[in-house]
Structure 1
Amino acid sequence: MSAGKILLVDDDDALRRAVAQGLELRGLEVAAFDNAPAALKTLNRDFDGAVVTDVRMPGMDGLALFERVRAIDPDIPVLLITGHGDVAMAVAALQDGAYDFVSKPFPMERLTAALARALEKRGLVLDNRRLEAAAQAGGGSPLLGDTPVMQRLRATIAQLAEAEVDVLIQGETGAGKGLVAHALHRGGSRRSRPMVTVNCAALPEAVFETELFGAAGAAGRPSTGRIERADRGVLFLDEIEGLSSSMQAKLLRVVEEREIWPVGAAEPRHLDLRIIAASKIDLAQAVRDGAFRADLYYRLNVVTLVVPPLRERREDVPGLFGFFLAEAAARLRRPAPRLTATIRDHLLGHDWPGNVRELAHYAERVALGLPSALVADDGATPAVAESLADRTGRYEAMVIRETLAACGGDARTAMALLQTPRKTFYDKLRRHGIEIDRYRPGKG
């Protein structure tokens, strides 16, 4: 059952204690009140549970409480406890937006089953609101998250952005190392100058020198390397662990002296650079393993920022998903889909080995409405949500059965209680397969 609090309101002390105990034994948190005004003081739009209230109470009764709850937030589920004479009244409340009702006496399983559905619905409502808020508060950067580790990361970026120090960023594939590099650049004094990105892992050794350092050229036509294009700006060395030992040695002079020696040039060129490097592996361990030069590592490692993987900050996943979903929907020019139970379960249950990048791709599939975004991890297609017509029919059949049970199968009394004409009443019996004789004494 979904997490959430149950607000129980009933002036009958014995019934209130029994129901509260039954719900608590089933793992629910219950706040019990003997009057409606006291219960209302605890409610607001952020309430993450459901309200269960008796209909007949002195002062403010259950229907008046339902109206007050609906004014606070119409999406808070309200379940009514009715007597046999209140069935028609409860049906009218259902039409006005009450979630469900149970008639006294009722089995605890009937109430807990209704509450399980109500809490699931409430959880989805609140999750969708949080997603919308996260999308609006994104500010153009998915470095979102309220977890302490993300708060510290943002604070450290703000401190380092204006500092003229080199930064080493470490994190798993797709964790957002490039986003951190861009945030450092945007927040620093070199923001008006370019940030030149070099994907070290994709750079063939045969063209390493000419691509990075440039060449003196012939007939006065020199070529400018990528490093020189970053002069007075920022050089971002992404996936630096992908450099071979010889490439690392050639890059060391750039990091140490801030100068390059173009191929064929007679003298070096001095540059004004801020260097940001990123690695998806632990470079300190790579140094110990002999896979990365210690002198280059220690010169790059003035300050190290570690970007945490999503599995270590699962609480941030829904907010990030909301940001990416809104972004994808806007780009595709279609409304953002609502969060479903299947999508929410995937968001919270998946480990996201591809981190932020994988989450962004998943949000795009959801925005496109692709079936692959709506398939559970075990490959099973989720059940289709119950339609409004099916749900209304289920309620209608339940109300008729409870009314027949209350009046001992007397059709005339049942029609009077339900305020239903004879032909309509018998049509509904046939539609729902209800045999009236089963409710008459001695026929059960």
Structure 2
Amino acid sequence: MSATVNKVLLVDDDEALRSAVAQGLMLRGFDVSAFDNASAALKALSRDFGGVVVSDVRMPGMDGLALFERIQTIDPDIPVLLITGHGDVAMAVAALQDGAYDFVSKPFPMERLTAALSRALEKRGLVLDNRRLELAAQAVGGSPLLGDTPVIRRLRATVAQLADAEVDVLVQGETGVGKNLVAQALHRGGTRRARPMITVNCAALPEAVFESELFGAVSGAGGGRPGIGRIERADRGVLFLDEIDGLSPTMQAKLLRVVEAREIWPLGASEPRHLDLRIIAASQVDLAEAVRNGTFRADLYYRLNVVTLVVPPLRERREDVALLFGQFLAAAAARLRRPVPRLAAADRDHLLNHDWPGNVRELAHYAERLALGLSSAHGEEFRSVSGGLAEKTMRYEAMIIRETLAACGGDARRAMAILETPRKTFYDKLRRHGIEIDRYRSPKRPAHG
């Protein structure tokens, strides 16, 4: 998000008052630039000015009201505070109706001015942040891997370099970081872009139907019309094995031949079928560590591990949060046929301070809620709850569970681990709060392209 908005542009022709006010504001932590006339002050202003203007009303040449009108033409959202004498209050009130932020009457306590400045600076910060989000929402790039931090730029460059290379790729990263986006970018930028990328969610595939779903089957006695499996649908295209770390040892052994020999043996077939495949696999865990722990086959790992790409978690690229959020918010608003909402202070604080354990997926869900008009910054729902301690506690518990499920994409095991809650207790709480876990799971991809 934006840097701290803390600038004060002070305009007053009274040297003694200007000096005293400037010194008092600087002692209180404000970044002050002082001018003795309005024309000089205007040269320091632009639409991107990150601060507030404080101006005396009565000055020779261009007075404070004329200065306010000129500032309106530069950017009507720059807050202007007017310093008035006793006889200027009526003019200041009229200026408020025209859009001036506030006024203070001489003599004024410094606390009155600093309180007004703090509020005005917060408002200016929100305006600039919303503008940055709107610009981010309009950003168009050839890659779905959005971001401007060095780590994501390097990843984009590597993906572009590998896209045309006919090599298998292993993509590793935490849940929700966008491993599927890396696979999409490799597919779209490669020579196989005209052919489908078939996705297999390995963790969601029951072992009982593993072979028939992936390898297909010959149906009917004596051989009938073959049932084509998902792997064969990827022939001359790309096979994306998502969450490959979720395969059981038995399924790993059966998949090894596909990766090693590029052939499948459908159930009931008398001979194998040779395929032209590029394989992209994705894992939430470090497969090298899984090999050391004995939970993943070494031979399968080394076959897949021609090139490994690591997708960084959002906490390691926090400067990209605003750009990503702007994209997600604009997309959600367009899909829902609603205007892009303005960002409130509580939502901005949440974007800045939240750790985003669910990574890009959690951020996208958060943008979706805001597009629906449901501000879900931590504590908002809790503060609005009426009733006694028991009711407040119940509502707060339900809010935390929902937030965790959203962050985990509906992954119950991960949510239980984050909440440090036993399985029975977790599901008891879901029933008690009427939480449907399926609502937080990503929709299943179609089995064929």
Normalised to the residue count of structure 2, the TM-score between the two structures is: 0.79
The equivalent residue for 2:86 is 84
Greater mean alpha carbon deviation, residues 353-362 or residues 112-121: 353-362
> What does residue range 107-146 of structure 1 map to in structure 2 within 5 Å?
107-138=109-140, 143-146=145-148
CA drift of 1:239 comes to: 0.3
The CA distance in 1 between the partners of 2:266 and 2:22, in whole Å, is: 79
Greater mean alpha carbon deviation, residues 230-239 or residues 19-28: 19-28
CA drift of 1:151 comes to: 2.1
1:156 maps to which of 154, 158, 178:
158
The equivalent residue for 1:423 is none
Map Cα deviations across residues 362-405 of structure 1 (whole Å, 9 max, x no partner). Answer: 222222223x63663682249xxxxxxxxxxxxxxxxxxxxxxx
The CA distance in 1 between the partners of 2:16 and 2:297, in whole Å, is: 75
1:44 aligns with 2:46: yes
1:176 maps to which of 172, 175, 178:
178
- Asked if structure 2 preserves the Cα contact closer than 8 Å seen for 1:142 and 1:323, the reply is no
1:243 aligns with 2:244: no
1:257 maps to which of 250, 256, 261:
261
The equivalent residue for 1:380 is 383
User: Which structure has the larger Rg?
Assistant: 1
* Aligned-residue RMSD, C-alpha: 2.2
The CA distance in 2 between the partners of 1:13 and 1:149, in whole Å, is: 50
Greater mean alpha carbon deviation, residues 141-150 or residues 269-278: 141-150
The equivalent residue for 2:354 is 350
Greater mean alpha carbon deviation, residues 251-260 or residues 187-196: 251-260
The CA distance in 2 between the partners of 1:378 and 1:17, in whole Å, is: 46
CA drift of 1:133 comes to: 1.8
CA drift of 1:313 comes to: 2.1
Structure 1 unmatched runs, 5+: 383-444
- Asked if structure 1 preserves the Cα contact closer than 8 Å seen for 2:144 and 2:185, the reply is no
The CA distance in 2 between the partners of 1:14 and 1:238, in whole Å, is: 70
- Asked if structure 1 preserves the Cα contact closer than 8 Å seen for 2:165 and 2:190, the reply is yes
> What does residue range 38-437 of structure 1 map to in structure 2 within 5 Å?
38-138=40-140, 143-218=145-220, 219-370=223-374, 373=376, 376=379, 379-381=382-384
Map Cα deviations across residues 127-173 of structure 1 (whole Å, 9 max, x no partner). Answer: 22222222222569763222222222222222222222211111111
The CA distance in 1 between the partners of 2:10 and 2:171, in whole Å, is: 52
SS at match of 2:315: helix
How many residues align? The count is 381
- Asked if structure 2 preserves the Cα contact closer than 8 Å seen for 1:342 and 1:376, the reply is no
The CA distance in 2 between the partners of 1:334 and 1:237, in whole Å, is: 36
The equivalent residue for 1:34 is 36
Structure 1 residues 381 and 33: alpha-carbon distance in aligned structure 2, compared to 1, 3 A threshold = farther
User: Structure 1: which amino acid aligns with 2:162?
Assistant: L
Structure 1 residues 30 and 298: alpha-carbon distance in aligned structure 2, compared to 1, 3 A threshold = farther
SS at match of 2:171: strand
SS at match of 1:80: strand
- Asked if structure 2 preserves the Cα contact closer than 8 Å seen for 1:35 and 1:60, the reply is yes
SS at match of 2:383: coil
Structure 1 residues 318 and 36: alpha-carbon distance in aligned structure 2, compared to 1, 3 A threshold = same
Greater mean alpha carbon deviation, residues 8-17 or residues 113-122: 8-17
The CA distance in 2 between the partners of 1:124 and 1:143, in whole Å, is: 26
The CA distance in 2 between the partners of 1:150 and 1:331, in whole Å, is: 27
SS at match of 1:275: strand
SS at match of 1:373: coil
The CA distance in 2 between the partners of 1:172 and 1:163, in whole Å, is: 25
The CA distance in 2 between the partners of 1:286 and 1:31, in whole Å, is: 59
Map Cα deviations across residues 335-388 of structure 1 (whole Å, 9 max, x no partner). Answer: 222211122122222222112222222222222223x63663682249xxxxxx
The CA distance in 1 between the partners of 2:253 and 2:377, in whole Å, is: 49
The CA distance in 1 between the partners of 2:26 and 2:145, in whole Å, is: 39
The CA distance in 2 between the partners of 1:114 and 1:2, in whole Å, is: 17
Map Cα deviations across residues 93-146 of structure 1 (whole Å, 9 max, x no partner). Answer: 212211111122211111111111111111111122222222222569763222
1:4 aligns with 2:3: no
Structure 1 residues 30 and 185: alpha-carbon distance in aligned structure 2, compared to 1, 3 A threshold = same
User: Structure 1: which amino acid aligns with 2:88?
Assistant: D
Normalised to the residue count of structure 1, the TM-score between the two structures is: 0.80
- Asked if structure 2 preserves the Cα contact closer than 8 Å seen for 1:99 and 1:118, the reply is yes
